[in-house]
């Protein structure tokens, strides 16, 4: 099974500290996320990203916004590429 499937969202953060903090917060809330190596097609300063399904997007991004942990960039997997989406 691929690390990121078509339609999945990938949140890129600007530091390892922020991505780890975001992962901890989301897991505490029992959200279906996965900490993954940032896909090669995307540049990520810290090399890690958080993957989540489209169905969970509003909830995941809402929790991160409330905690002032918004990602630097968010992408959606579309076929072989990643499209940047507005937050």
- CATH number, domain of 29, equals 3.30.70
pLDDT at 1: 56
The model's pTM:
0.92
Confirm whether 55 is domain-assigned.
Answer: yes
Confirm whether 1 is domain-assigned.
Answer: no
Q: Give how many domains the chain has, as a whole number.
A: 1
Q: What order do you get walking across the sheet with 73-78 strand by strand?
A: 33-37, 48-52, 9-12, 73-78, 81-85
Confirm whether 4 is domain-assigned.
Answer: no
Q: What φ, ψ does residue 48 adopt, rounded to 5°?
A: -120, 160
Confirm whether 75 is domain-assigned.
Answer: yes
Chain centroid to CA 12: how far? 6
Model confidence pLDDT, tens digit, residues 65-75: 999 999 999 99
Model confidence pLDDT, tens digit, residues 9-64: 999 999 999 999 999 999 999 999 999 999 988 876 778 999 999 999 999 999 99
Confirm whether 3 is domain-assigned.
Answer: no
Domain extent at residue 72? 9-85
CA atoms 33, 39, 43, 47: torsion sign? positive
């Amino acid at each position: 099974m691929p690390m990121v499937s078509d339609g999945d969202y990938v949140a890129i953060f600007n530091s390892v500290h922020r991505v780890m903090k975001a992962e901890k917060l989301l897991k505490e809330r029992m959200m279906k996320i996965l900490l993954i190596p940032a896909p090669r097609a995307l540049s990520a300063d810290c090399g890690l990203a958080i993957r989540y399904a489209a169905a969970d997007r509003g909830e995941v991004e809402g929790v991160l916004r409330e905690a002032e942990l918004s990602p630097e960039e968010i992408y959606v997997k579309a076929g072989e590429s990643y499209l940047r989406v507005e937050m």
